[in-house]
Chain A
Amino acid sequence: NAGVTQTPKFQVLKTGQSMTLQCAQDMNHEYMSWYRQDPGMGLRLIHYSVGAGITDQGEVPNGYNVSRSTTEDFPLRLLSAAPSQTSVYFCASNQQGSTEAFFGQGTRLTVV
């Protein structure tokens, strides 16, 4: 099993550009989440999903959209990138209920 796969690993965007960060898991997990990690801020929840067709906002949702059309995929969309979105983004998945989260390798995004 591949676990949680994120693409791309690195990305540089210009301000105002749009892009989609991909996340896929092959563990049939119901829950999927997106976090951003910034120095001194820890991991902050952007959006999460408890199942296909269901998404909800986390702590810092502004500027990001998500959708969950299948159990496996949970893409994160930046519609108009801003320098404040420069960060490392992690996707995570876990089985329903209170179990451990499995993280992808991360996407390092720079917006110039």
Chain B
Amino acid sequence: GQQVMQIPQYQHVQEGEDFTTYCNSSTTLSNIQWYKQRPGGHPVFLIQLVKSGEVKKQKRLTFQFGEAKKNSSLHITATQTTDVGTYFCAGRSSNTGKLIFGQGTTLQVKP
């Protein structure tokens, strides 16, 4: 079945440093979504990528979708303490509509 792998599992950075998390799917995805979960909270939608090679930016966050639509990345420039949380990628199956999540990357930012 469809699997979505995400690395790294944890990342500790100093405030101001950059951060990147990577997502790889075992199958071609119709789209990929990214979510953020603050400690003790629930996942909140950040963005969706649909097109091959697509790049989207949200302020300091840059999202990329691979050419083969099987991988994606999230890059945060100059991290801030407000970026703390767990970032999940999720791939939606074009056949079933199921949304399968990666294991998530937990980001800690030292002030």
Which residues of chain A come closer than 8 Å to B96, judged between CB atoms?
56
CB distance from B26 to the nearest CB of A (A): 13
Q: Which residues of B contact A100 (CB under 8 A)?
A: 33, 45, 48
- B63 → chain A, closest Cβ, in Å? 14
- Establish whether residues B98 and A58, one from each chain, have CB atoms under 8 Å apart when the complex forms: yes
B-side contacts of A98, CB under 8 Å: 30-31, 48, 50, 92
How far is B50's CA from A100's CA once the two chains are assembled, in angstroms? Answer: 12
Question: Are B45 and A33 within 8 A (Cβ)?
Answer: no
Is the CB of A45 closer than 8 A to any CB of chain B?
A: yes
> Taking the complex as formed, is B103 at the interface, i.e. its CB lies under 8 A from any CB of chain A?
yes
Which residues of chain A come closer than 8 Å to B44, judged between CB atoms? 103
B88 interface residue per 8 A CB criterion: yes
Distance in angstroms between the alpha carbons of A11 and B43 in the assembled complex: 20
Residues from chain B with Cβ under 8 Å of A59 in the complex: 1, 100
Q: Does B85 contact A (CB under 8 A)?
A: no
Q: Mark A30-59, 1 if CB is under 8 A from B, else 0.
A: 010101000011111100101000001011
**Is B97 an interface residue when CB atoms closer than 8 A count as contact?**
yes
**Interface of A with B (CB < 8 Å)?**
31, 33, 35, 40-45, 48, 50, 56, 58-59, 90, 92, 94, 96-106
Selected A-B contacts with CB under 8 Å, 8 pairs: A40-B9, A42-B103, A56-B98, A92-B99, A94-B99, A98-B50, A101-B43, A102-B45
